[in-house]
Amino acid sequence: MHSETTAKRLELTGIPIAPGCALGKAHLLRQISLEALEVNLFPVQDVAAEIARLERAVQQTRTQLEELRAQVHADDSRDLVGILGAQLTLLEDAELLDKIRDTIRDRAVNTEYLIAHEIRQIEAVFRNLKDEVMRSRFLDVQDVHHRLLRNLLEIEHVRTNPFRRLTAPVVLVADRMLPSDIALLELDKILGIIIEEGSTVSHVAIIAKSLGIPAMTEVPHATTRLRSGDDLLLNADTGQAIVHPDENDLAWYGKTHHHHLARRPAGRNGRKAAEAHPPCQTTDGVRITLDANIGSLREVDEALHAGADGIGLLRSEFFYLSRQEMPTLEAETDFYRDVLRSMHKRQVTIRLLDIGADKPLPYLQLPQEENPQLGMRGIRLLLRTPDLLKRHLRSILHASEHGTVRLLLPFITTLHDLDRMLAVIHDLCREDQIPRERFHVGIMVEIPVVALDTDPFMRRVDFVSIGTNDLIQYLFAACREASHLQEYRLTHHPAILRLLHAVANAGKAHGKSVSVCGEMASDPTMALLLIGLGIRNLSLQANALPQVRTSIQKHSLAALDKLAREAMEMDRAEEVLALLKQLQPG
Ligand code: PEP
Ligand code: MG
């Protein structure tokens, strides 16, 4: 795909999700929309050319699959070799291809429309199969046909591994992205990310922020307004992107880029860097624990540099999402062991897999759900996949001998689920002779019913961590991925503050630690409010840590307590925002 646009300077605007600037060639990724293709029927003038287009796409798909198979052969991944072999066989399905060729000849219509219809029919056949294993094969069938469609339409998607073929890093421009998409990207080839649609608390935003990749969202029609190969300057500090930047833009970038480089930490010795930060406390001497949220080993170093007291949230699903196949017990245990060792005995909160909803695993067949945000996520899913749950838990419990582990259970809704999980943990400890007192167990408070009635949960666990990202989406019934619902996710709403205050109080009454690990804690003024509400432990993005620490160290607990009381008396989020504006964050 080469640019045919004239080199006219074009400005695009959006909402910044991760700070920084990037300059490079654009690289487009688009998801296939079967729904759109199914209704996009149009006549073709040149039937022979249309059939030739189909043949080219089939040939291209065959070459890609063969290349991929050779690649994974080299990596010695037998399952994947088998899947790719089966996909090649599917591609050679003469009956299907003949049927499409005949229809193009008879009806003179576009090929993608016909393929989209074929996929739908095959989908219906698979959905009715009794055998679950056979039913799960549909994903492989779908995958090969989607690949064929992408080649036909000349669009790329992460699953095709387009980054292997890139020789220089690019600025990624995508219509939408799932966490599993971003986790599969070759990060050293990505300078920046522009997404047409996605909210600032989406998991993609969280990953981009934590990896320090400049990113911007809400850029309508980005994938149609520019082409792969266009020069692109992204300023994710201001939410601006310039296609075909001129000399002035480039001169500006030259200066800014140096400024950004200068801000990077110089050394890489985590232990020394952490020692350089005195413990965080308010001016009247109240200690506030500042932990980091991480998803990978490379972020441990950054957390230590930023002076994190520990890891308040290790999203274990990011380890799974960064792989092409299910990790072995050994590989996963090694991962946690490495994190624990790097943290030098500091506390590490490992959250059990929170997959489902917007975080599907490419290699795990999940039930199709109408509304996955209200469906099989986190613990609900793990309890239904006992083999996965046991292997996953085992890897954490085995690694726990290398450091201080807190086990965090995501998406807890009922005492029944919690009790079942505690029983599984108890049984595994007994089976593998792991002392139960070697680690603490806690839950995410992220579903309204748990926040509204925490006492019974507090009695059963050692700590709780409030997941404000989900709690807010469920309290306001406004999906966190949807940017157009931003006005309903009222983080500053007094009702939220009163609820958080109640959870903090319950923690105090039960002598249990309460932390906040949602994005709210990364905001320097919201962090002040949280402390006023009674929270003493925050877990946040490592790059937000210095600013949050400075902000806290400027205020007394007495003043923050007063601030929170005032905010809780208010009626509206806007009033709380106005109150916070009077503060000096740092
Ligand atoms: C949350 O819901 O606030 C949270 C920290 O978890 P996640 O963002 O991974 O859902
Ligand atoms: Mg959550």
**CA of residue 117 to ligand 2 center, whole Å:** 37
Average per-residue pLDDT for the chain: 87
pLDDT band at 514, cuts 50/70/90? very high
260 pLDDT more than 60: no
Which of 261, 293, 323 terminates a domain? The answer is 261
Examine residue 19 and state whether it is found in any structural domain, yes or no: yes
Q: Which of 236, 273, 275 is nearest to 256 (CA)?
A: 236
What percentage of the chain carries pLDDT values higher than 70? 89
The pair of structure tokens assigned to 269 is 């010795």
* Burial environment of residue 442 by CB neighbours within 10 A (0 to 12, 13 to 18, 19 or more): buried
Shortest-distance atom of ligand 1 to CA 468: 3
551 pLDDT more than 70: yes
pLDDT digits (tens, 9 = 90+) for 55-69: 999 999 899 888 877
584 pLDDT more than 70: no
pLDDT at 397: 97
Average pLDDT score over residue span 106-123: 89
Average pLDDT score over residue span 108-120: 89
| 499 pocket-lining for ligand 1 (C-beta < 6 Å) | no
Examine residue 159 and state whether it is found in any structural domain, yes or no: no
Shortest-distance atom of ligand 1 to CA 469: 3
**CA of residue 571 to ligand 2 center, whole Å:** 26
Distance CA 551, CA 545 (A): 10
Q: Which of 557, 556, 542, 554 is nearest to 586 (CA)?
A: 554
132 pLDDT more than 70: no
pLDDT at 267: 38
pLDDT band at 263, cuts 50/70/90? very low
Query: Based on the domain organization, do 87 and 133 belong to the same domain?
Result: yes
Query: Based on the domain organization, do 49 and 123 belong to the same domain?
Result: yes
Q: Which pairs with CB-CB distance under 8 Å and at least 24 residues apart come from 139-147?
A: 139/365, 140/83, 140/86, 140/87, 140/90, 141/90, 143/87, 144/61, 144/65, 144/87, 144/90, 144/91, 145/90, 145/115, 145/118, 145/119, 146/32, 146/119, 147/61, 147/64, 147/65, 147/87
Q: Give me the sign of the Cα torsion angle 524, 478, 352, 333.
A: negative
Q: Which residues are catalytic?
A: 203, 517
294 pLDDT more than 90: yes
Taking the CA of 291 as reference, the closest ligand is 1
Examine residue 138 and state whether it is found in any structural domain, yes or no: yes
Query: Based on the domain organization, do 479 and 466 belong to the same domain?
Result: yes
Q: What burial letters (b/e) apply to 461-481, b meaning 16+ CB within 10 Å?
A: bebbbbbbbbbbbbbbebbbb
Average pLDDT score over residue span 296-308: 91
pLDDT at 322: 77
Taking the CA of 317 as reference, the closest ligand is 1
Distance CA 192, CA 208 (A): 9
Helix axes 573-581, 524-532, angle to 10 degrees: 110
Query: Based on the domain organization, do 568 and 422 belong to the same domain?
Result: yes
| 322 pocket-lining for ligand 1 (C-beta < 6 Å) | no
Average pLDDT score over residue span 271-288: 81
Query: Based on the domain organization, do 390 and 327 belong to the same domain?
Result: yes
Residue nearest to atom 3 of ligand 1 (CA): 467
Which of 208, 229, 261 terminates a domain? The answer is 261
pLDDT digits (tens, 9 = 90+) for 172-188: 998 877 766 666 667 77
Q: Domain with 245 in it: what CATH number?
A: 3.50.30.10
| 481 pocket-lining for ligand 1 (C-beta < 6 Å) | no
Average pLDDT score over residue span 261-284: 62
Query: Based on the domain organization, do 200 and 63 belong to the same domain?
Result: no
Distance CA 554, CA 68 (A): 55
Examine residue 4 and state whether it is found in any structural domain, yes or no: no
| 209 pocket-lining for ligand 1 (C-beta < 6 Å) | no
pLDDT at 160: 47
| 312 pocket-lining for ligand 1 (C-beta < 6 Å) | no
pLDDT at 80: 64
Query: Based on the domain organization, do 486 and 552 belong to the same domain?
Result: yes
Query: Based on the domain organization, do 54 and 134 belong to the same domain?
Result: yes
334 pLDDT more than 50: yes
Examine residue 512 and state whether it is found in any structural domain, yes or no: yes
Residue nearest to atom 6 of ligand 1 (CA): 467
Q: Domain with 70 in it: what CATH number?
A: 1.10.274.10
pLDDT at 4: 42
379 pLDDT more than 60: yes
Most ligand 1 atoms within 8 A of CB, residue of 311, 350, 444 to mutate:
444
What percentage of the chain carries pLDDT values higher than 90? 57
Query: Based on the domain organization, do 530 and 559 belong to the same domain?
Result: yes
346 pLDDT more than 60: yes
Question: Helices in 128-246 by DSSP H: which ranges?
Answer: 132-136, 138-153, 179-184, 203-211, 222-225
Average pLDDT score over residue span 485-499: 95
Distances (CA, A) of 259 to 22, 252, 262, 546: 13, 11, 5, 18
pLDDT at 182: 66
Taking the CA of 472 as reference, the closest ligand is 1
Average pLDDT score over residue span 108-117: 91
Query: Based on the domain organization, do 43 and 18 belong to the same domain?
Result: no
Distances (CA, A) of 129 to 21, 91, 115, 137, 367: 50, 21, 22, 11, 14
585 pLDDT more than 60: no
Which of 213, 230, 261 terminates a domain? The answer is 261
266 pLDDT more than 60: no
| 20 pocket-lining for ligand 1 (C-beta < 6 Å) | no
pLDDT at 77: 55
Most ligand 1 atoms within 8 A of CB, residue of 180, 293, 315, 351 to mutate:
315
pLDDT at 473: 95
Q: Domain with 501 in it: what CATH number?
A: 3.20.20.60
Query: Based on the domain organization, do 412 and 557 belong to the same domain?
Result: yes
386 pLDDT more than 90: yes
pLDDT band at 272, cuts 50/70/90? low
Q: Which residue has the higher pLDDT, 223 or 327?
A: 327
| 409 pocket-lining for ligand 1 (C-beta < 6 Å) | no
pLDDT band at 231, cuts 50/70/90? very high
pLDDT band at 2, cuts 50/70/90? very low
> Per mean pLDDT, which of 116-130, 271-285, 425-439, 482-496 is the most reliable?
425-439
Q: In the block, which residue shows the tokens 């409010």?
A: 529
The pair of structure tokens assigned to 542 is 């490592």
**CA of residue 411 to ligand 1 center, whole Å:** 9
Examine residue 84 and state whether it is found in any structural domain, yes or no: yes
pLDDT at 184: 62
Examine residue 3 and state whether it is found in any structural domain, yes or no: no
Least confidently predicted of 77-81, 208-212, 224-228, 372-376: 77-81
Q: Which pairs with CB-CB distance under 8 Å and at least 24 residues apart come from 568-577?
A: 568/494, 568/497, 568/498, 568/501, 568/533, 569/494, 570/494, 571/494, 572/493, 572/494, 573/490, 573/491, 573/492, 573/493, 573/494, 575/494, 576/492, 576/493, 576/494, 576/497, 576/529, 577/492
| Domain coverage including residue 359 | 263-581
pLDDT digits (tens, 9 = 90+) for 311-331: 999 999 989 887 778 899 999
Residue nearest to atom 9 of ligand 1 (CA): 315
pLDDT at 577: 95
Q: Residue 11's beta-bridge partner residues?
A: 242
pLDDT at 269: 46
pLDDT at 74: 60
Q: Which residue has the higher pLDDT, 89 or 310?
A: 310
Taking the CA of 516 as reference, the closest ligand is 1
**CA of residue 408 to ligand 1 center, whole Å:** 12
380 pLDDT more than 50: yes
Distance CA 333, CA 294 (A): 17
Distance CA 204, CA 358 (A): 10
| 352 pocket-lining for ligand 1 (C-beta < 6 Å) | no
Examine residue 345 and state whether it is found in any structural domain, yes or no: yes
Total domains in the chain come to: 3
| 470 pocket-lining for ligand 1 (C-beta < 6 Å) | yes
Helix, strand or coil, per DSSP, at residue 140: helix
42 pLDDT more than 90: no
Residue nearest to atom 8 of ligand 1 (CA): 469
| 467 pocket-lining for ligand 1 (C-beta < 6 Å) | yes
Query: Based on the domain organization, do 445 and 497 belong to the same domain?
Result: yes
